[in-house]
Structure 1
Amino acid sequence: MPGYHETLLQLTYTRVLILFGLSTLVLAAIYVVGAGVDVWLICATLGMMALINLFTYARLHSNWPVTESELFSQLCADAILYGALIYQTGGATNPFIFLLLVPLLISAATLSWRFTWLMAVIVVLFYSSLLRYYLPVLPPQTEHHFSLGALFDLHIIGMWMNFLLTVLLITWFLVRMQHSMRQQERRLNRERERRIRGQQMVSLATFAAGTAHELGTPLSTMSVILKDMALTHKDDPETAEDIALLQQQVSACSDRLQTMARSARDADVTHEKPMKVLLDELLDEWQIIRPQAQYQRRDTQPGNSPLVATSPQLKQALTNLLNNAADASEEPLDIELDWDKSNVWLRIHDQGPGLPLSSSANLGRPFVTTKGKGLGIGLFLTATTLAQHEGEVRLYDHPKGGTLTEVRLPTAGSGHKEAE
């Protein structure tokens, strides 16, 4: 599972630090203190630790999942090697015997209570055995003669160094583990939100499909009746004009249903287009729908704009934002386009009343509206569509009044991903 994979990866980093520290201490004990140790045996133990760490690091790049039992076996191997190294360097008289606590602390932080208690039994047995069985570092026959006070001072200094090393290792490992756990929790929260949003989208799509199917019959009936009424009242200009307007509206509704069906069929079809071209097309189509709406458009940078991945759903989402801004104020909209190598930003500033505090925290959720009318699903569908394009929409109260709607879209090929 991903959690144990990350823990085992952190364990390989911890082993590198421990190997470096132990190698330095062994060299100091041999050449500074003059300890009588079997250098080849110690080097073999440290080499075994290095080989296990290299094998573990290579194994982590495979597709095999890291189980709890595997992580426990890795910690047992560490405890055995630490015990072997301490056995060769004085046993329980070695102030660095507390290195045996490192596997136990990692077990307590990551594994279940059964494995933690088992690791506790293992390290206690090792410590108890090392009280009696060990290779002395300074045997009585050595040519180096240390007084009892000097040996005690040396032991105290070693314990201080051991305490400092243990504190650094434990703090570093636990901080890294907490960071990894927070990242995993954020990923789980995002996936949960996406799943909930996906379920809501499926519900809305099912409802929309059923509604579109049901509306087809009454619209066809209305079209037939309006044709008959046009023939009946062709001598009445005012009535004929009203009937022609109704026919136009019915045709618009039928065309809208057909467009919705084509969009659903081509939902996965996307292509790349310069953002300036996309915005020009979008504004031209929007002016046909909203001829009374006015706007002022400006680009913050000269030259060609980067490519973005576009689709019918994206154009509809941006149209929803333009409609919301136009509904909020009769004043001309201020539309600004900006970009860099990784993202493009579309900012729409209206002169409306701004965002109400009561609903600002829930904007983007289904059935939440600030208009006092409507179903409250437009901004939700817009936010969902932009998220599918790895973009986002945010709404702010503008310092000069009204609402600022900011859309961010990644440029094509930028590989932009949401920040952790």
Structure 2
Amino acid sequence: MTDLSGELLSANRRSNWIRLRTFITLRWIAILGQITALLIAQFGFGLVLEYGLCYLAVGISVIGNLIAIFVFPENKLLTESENRYMLLFDVLQLGFLLFLTGGLHNPFSFLVVAPVTIAASVLSIRSAMMLASLAVVIVTALLEFHLPLRTENLSVLEISNVFLFGHWTAIIIAIFFSSFYSRQVVSEMSSMGEALAATQMALAREQKLTDLGGVVAAAAHELGTPLATIKLASAELLEELDDRPELREDAALIREQADRCRDILRSMGRAGKDDLHLRKAPLSAVIEEAAEPHMDRGKTLVFDHFEITESPEILRRPEIIHGLRNLIQNAVDFASDTVWVETSWDEASISVRILDDGSGFPPHLIGRIGDPFMRHRKPEKERKKRPGYEGMGLGLFIAKTLLERSGAEISFANGSKNAELRSTQNTSGGAIVEVIWPRSKIDANHNLSLIGTGENPLHRTAP
């Protein structure tokens, strides 16, 4: 999962998501705006400019767009280098137009920020920084090197040096701020999208297991009768073949294999019914089911059930089981020796608390626990301890998302600094995760309509 997520979230992969058609459309909009501005300047305000060179610059963009439309397929996805060259062309073309139309005295000079912002969103850091640096160089050069804006009477239109310097400063700040802001937002959205996709995959997997368990249980039930018939027939054959030992051995083998099939189906049926097929179960059974894959991993799991009222039966929803399983896995991974799983309930709520005797959560990351793909590089000692984990927080994000989807509220803390949450056994100050549901959300007795039991039909009996 980590390798897949890292690949999907890389900047190079993001750049490959952009269609050529998107750039063509944006460039047509820019071309239309440039032609409109030139026509207004020429016929509306009568400004004296090098209109031949200006229209030549716009015409090159038009020719580039037409070539892209007729040469490449409509659904072509651009590579990293192709995206870089497209945006590089836009920066240079806009810089040349600004050189012909007054440089930073032109109010449209602020548009140089646009291609740099797009580059920060879709390109690698190296390519984005290259384009941003180029834009800074162009804007700085335009302070001194540009053709002036002249009116019909050849008077020069320019702003004062103070405003010119302020304009230059604003553009430089906008280039870096908008680039950083855009990159952060896109990265967050990409991370969240990939993490949610991983969550859906985990939930779909759990649901498939649930469906498979129902099939297994049904198959075990349906095959029980023919196997019993085979066993009965083989037993009768054994009695009738006492005088034919070679055939009696075959009948004994049939009976032995029928017994073996019965045992296998019995275990499969029990697993299907107990582990996957039931739609509700006692709270303690669901907790132990979630913890079962981690009971033989060298750590001691202690289950404490604080019985205030009668133990509730809860819905065996895949997101609850998978979410709790991820939390218990995380506790087992970091525990020194023991993990405690405490459950309690009252008339209003159901609570599960998972504690371990490890080193606890890093204090500076507690507020971010549950965010996907936390960029926290672990020390070498910790990476050796958990070689299969990269510390990106995806497992906890999946657990948090699935449990919150079921109506739970989740809190993360360390035992030593949260005495009100600390278990009496958790004296070492390890990590604490507390999950609290409103009882109406998961109590099977409050959700009878979700269980879908229905009425048993009456069977007609023969007279």
Query: Is TM > 0.5 for Structure 1 vs Structure 2?
Result: no
TM-score bracket for the superposition, by shorter chain length: 0.3 to 0.5
TM-score (norm: length of structure 2)? 0.40
